[in-house]
Amino acid sequence: MTDSLLPQPSPPLILIADDEKMMRNLLRRAMEKEGYQVVDVTDGESAIAAYQSLQPSVVLLDAIMPGMDGFTCCSKMRSFFEGDRTPILMITALDDPESVDRAFDAGAADYVTKPIHWPVLRQRVKRLLQQVSMFQQLEAANQELQRLASLDGLTGLANRRCFDQVLEKEWRRGVREGWNTTEAPQLSLILCDVDCFKLYNDTYGHQAGDACLQAVARVLQQVARRPADLVARYGGEEFIVILPNTSREGAMYVARNILAEMRTCAISHAASVVSDRVTLSLGVSSVVPTSESSQTLLLASADAALYQAKTSGRDRAVF
Ligand code: GH3
Ligand code: MG
Ligand code: MG
Ligand code: MG
């Protein structure tokens, strides 16, 4: 596709609020000349309404207007959305120090006095727009970093850190939602460990071992696929599944499906002492979260069940 066929970004929108018609027209013309889209309004109330509905890139705000003045209007705009950084540039005939302080204290990003020095205003608006786009890029990069920080590099599953956070969150949600219901929802865990995986690496090599872990990850994701379920890599060849609002029976059903899906997958493992294919041992635990107990007990119980699964022959789920 050539660049001309790609959707072009629309020009930045400048919101102008000024009670004087002539000033509005001058500002509009100056901004349109720069290629910006313009919306103008005559008072503070309309400015706030336009700010909320149109989400402009920059606001040019007059200080003295009948009704709500520019300072009040500015601080109201600032308090709408947390983290909103839309710059507000005050344009005013007031150039006393108190007014300058009031404007910046109200959250204005910049201050230009009338009569307007047009080249200066142009540059100031341009610089504010550059800052907006820099913030947006930083925010996107930050979000991507946060996403990557919660992923396991090999399998693409949630990592241990993410698992800890989600378990904590689900626990608190369970406590909140369960305290006054008769049928309190249970929170379940399935701790999964690949059987004889050291032998797998020894037989097929570490790279094949990595591919095997990726295949196991896919199986787990295929089976635990309710939106609230979370599959995470818990450690080397251990995985863990969080099943919110799931009873012991529900969790055992998921666990049996995991074992069955591993059977269908049939990844060869000639050296395994359990079977001729890769198998898993699963430790399942369920509990109604309460403020008296803790998620550590739920984990310990899954761990104990996994130990039972290992010692009683592997390739099985134990509650
Ligand atoms: P068991 O049936 O009792 O669980 O035996 P096991 O061999 O699976 O358990 P053990 O803990 O002795 O070995 C785990 C192996 O997993 C050893 C380690 O090298 C391997 N492993 C851990 N992480 C990775 C990984 O990211 N890639 C590969 N290829 N191997 C890994
Ligand atoms: Mg005015
Ligand atoms: Mg292990
Ligand atoms: Mg193992």
For residue range 199-213, list pLDDT tens digits in order. 999 999 999 999 999
Per-residue model confidence (pLDDT) at position 287: 94
Take residue 299 and report the two structure tokens written for it.
């984990």
Per-residue model confidence (pLDDT) at position 24: 98
Is residue 288 within 8 Å of 295, Cβ to Cβ? no
Take residue 47 and report the two structure tokens written for it.
């400015």
Has residue 181 got a pLDDT over 90? no
Selection from 122, 103, 133 nearest residue 31 by Cα: 122
pLDDT tens for each residue of 7-46: 778 999 999 999 999 999 999 999 999 999 999 999 999 9
Measure the CA–CA gap between 202 and 195, rounded to whole angstroms.
13
pLDDT tens for each residue of 114-153: 999 999 999 999 999 999 999 999 999 999 999 999 999 9
pLDDT band at 82; cut points 50, 70, 90:
confident
Distance 239 CA to ligand 3 centre (A): 9
Has residue 84 got a pLDDT over 90? no
> Which residue's C-alpha comes closest to atom 26 of ligand 1?
236
Which ligand lies nearest to the CA atom of residue 233 in the structure?
1
Please compute the mean of the pLDDT values over residues 50-74 and round it to a whole number. 96
278 Cβ inside 6 Å of ligand 1: no
Measure the CA–CA gap between 207 and 213, rounded to whole angstroms.
10
Per-residue model confidence (pLDDT) at position 29: 98
Please compute the mean of the pLDDT values over residues 42-68 and round it to a whole number. 96
Which string of DSSP letters, residue by residue, matches 190-244? EEEEETTHHHHHHHH-HHHHHHHHHHHHHHHHHHS-STT-EEEEEETTEEEEEET
Has residue 262 got a pLDDT over 60? yes
> Which residue's C-alpha comes closest to atom 29 of ligand 1?
209
Neighbours of ion ligand 3 (CB under 5 A): 193, 238
Which atom, in ligand 1's list, is nearest to the CA of 201?
29
User: Which residue did the predictor score with more confidence, 162 or 5?
Assistant: 162
202 Cβ inside 6 Å of ligand 1: no
pTM beyond 0.90: the answer is no
Distance 18 CA to ligand 2 centre (A): 6
Per-residue model confidence (pLDDT) at position 178: 78
Q: What are the start-end ranges of the E strands in 142-209? A: 187-194
The catalytic residue positions are: 237
pLDDT band at 6; cut points 50, 70, 90:
confident
Angle separating helix axes 118-149 and 21-33, nearest 10 degrees: 60
Has residue 182 got a pLDDT over 70? no
User: Which residue did the predictor score with more confidence, 179 or 31?
Assistant: 31
pLDDT tens for each residue of 292-311: 989 999 999 999 999 999 99
Q: Is the dihedral of CA 42, 48, 49, 54 positive or negative?
A: positive
Has residue 1 got a pLDDT over 60? no
Measure the CA–CA gap between 138 and 133, rounded to whole angstroms.
9
Has residue 80 got a pLDDT over 90? no
Q: What is the number of H-type helices and E-type strands within the chain?
A: 10, 10
Test site for ligand 1: of 237, 310, 312, most ligand atoms within 8 A of the Cβ:
237
Please compute the mean of the pLDDT values over residues 272-286 and round it to a whole number. 98
Q: Is the dihedral of CA 282, 240, 271, 214 positive or negative?
A: positive
The whole-chain average pLDDT of the chain stands at 95
Residue 99, CA distances (Å) to 64, 110, 124 in order: 11, 12, 19
Has residue 2 got a pLDDT over 60? no
Take residue 11 and report the two structure tokens written for it.
């020009």
